[in-house]
Amino acid sequence: MATKYVKGKLYNLKISDLQPDPNQARSFIEPVALNELAASVGKLSVLVPIQFCQNDQGAPVIVSGHRRVKAAEMAGLKEISGTFTDGDTRLQGFVDNLQREGLNPVDEAEQMAALMKDYTFNQNQLADALGKDKSIVSKTLTINKLPEDVRSTCRTNPNVPKSVLLDAAQMSTEANMRRKFQRYMDQAAKTGQTSVQKPKVSKQRALITKTGNLTGELDGLPWREWSQDDRSDLANALVGIRDKADGLLADMAQ
């Protein structure tokens, strides 16, 4: 018999039981950011619960938190905490992806078009549902005009700016779109942007990485070899970190 979940309640879920959302907007997860998240999860566990719903068979389905689940699995965790939700979970999951780290521009454009079709939204209604300006929605949707081979290249290349795709999509024919896009790729290859440019890291991810690195530096710290003054200063710094961490964890638990 399927488990009966209560909306808003926190549960410990077996990762092996979780099903991916078939309508998940994010088709590509940037591997560098995912590895950083997995390292952080391995040290600090998953601090923010995922959200999940149930499918027709009663199995838990991820609504938001696909990256956290993948990172937890990579870190060797067997369980993850999650809150149950219901209602319009597709829109909820899409908005969560937009707010957390931003989707690949192609994924974003294709999901917007799919939402318009499935919900019979016009562009104004879609903008209202997503909480975005109509002009931004309208521009983003033009990316769907690009040829499939161009969009396919961009799905796995987080270094291609959205502005480049918007400019290419304004061309009158697919041949011109390809030429416009290829000119950018050729120029980027000459300057090394397509191969060595680091993907943009959000402030949140940068802070998480710094916190994880600090935790690693504290492992095996030879503090006994330090002077008494250095020991005292370190102790004071650690107390400050502990107090801040306790306060943040208490807030997140609420």
Listing DSSP states for 156-172 in one string gives T-TTS-HHHHHHHHTSS
60-64 β-sheet, strand order: 10-14, 79-84, 50-54, 60-64
Which is more confidently placed, 208 or 89? 208
On whether residue 46 sits in a domain, the answer given is yes
With a cut of 60, say whether residue 52 has pLDDT above it: yes
pTM for the model stands at 0.49
Cβ neighbours for 226, distance < 8 A, ≥ 6 positions apart:
234
> For 153, phi and psi rounded to 5 degrees?
-60, -40
pLDDT band at 198 (very low <50, low <70, confident <90, very high): very low
CA-based nearest residue to 68, from 188, 204, 197: 204
Mean pLDDT to the nearest integer, 38-47: 78
Q: How far, in Å, CA of 254 to CA of 246, rounded?
A: 13
Q: Strand (E) positions, 57-145?
A: 60-64, 79-84
Residue 216 lies in a domain: no
Which residues face 83 on adjacent strands? 10, 51
C-alpha distances in Å from residue 144, one per residue of 120, 131, 140, 159: 18, 21, 8, 18
As for how many domains the chain has, the answer is 1
Is residue 42 situated within a structural domain?
Answer: yes
What pLDDT does 141 receive?
Answer: 94
Among the ranges given (79-88, 178-187, 227-236), the one the predictor scored with the smallest mean pLDDT: 227-236
Structural domain for 16, as ranges: 1-88
**pLDDT > 90 fraction of the chain, expressed in percent and rounded:** 16
CATH assignment of the domain containing 1 = 3.90.1530.10
Helices (H), 105-201: 105-119, 123-130, 134-141, 148-155, 162-169, 174-191
Tell me, yes or no, whether 53 lies in a domain. yes
Q: Residue 51 CB: number of other CB atoms within 10 A?
A: 18
Domain assignment of residue 161, yes or no: no
Residues 6 or more apart whose Cβ sits within 8 Å of residue 1: none
**Alpha-carbon distance 199 to 184, whole Å?**
17
**197: pLDDT strictly greater than 50:** no
Q: Per the domain annotation, does 15 fall within a domain?
A: yes
Q: Which two tokens stand for residue 108?
A: 């974003």
pLDDT at 65: 81
Write down the pLDDT at residue 53. 87
pLDDT in tens, 132-191: 788 889 999 999 999 999 998 888 787 788 999 999 999 989 999 999 999 999 888 887
28 in a structural domain: yes
- 78 lies in some domain: yes
Q: For residue 164, give the nearest of 177, 148, 149 by alpha carbon.
A: 177
CB contact at 8 A, 73 and 50: no
- Count CB-CB contacts under 10 A for residue 143: 23
Helix (H, G, I), strand (E, B) or coil at 103: coil
User: Using 50, 70 and 90 to split pLDDT, how confident is the model at 199?
Assistant: very low
Kindly state the average pLDDT of the residues 112-135.
Answer: 82
Among 250, 241, 208, residue whose Cα is nearest residue 41: 208
User: What is the per-residue pLDDT for 222?
Assistant: 79
pLDDT of residue 196: 36
pLDDT tens, residue by residue, 10-34: 889 999 999 888 766 556 666 776 7
Q: Read off the pLDDT band of 107 (50, 70, 90).
A: confident
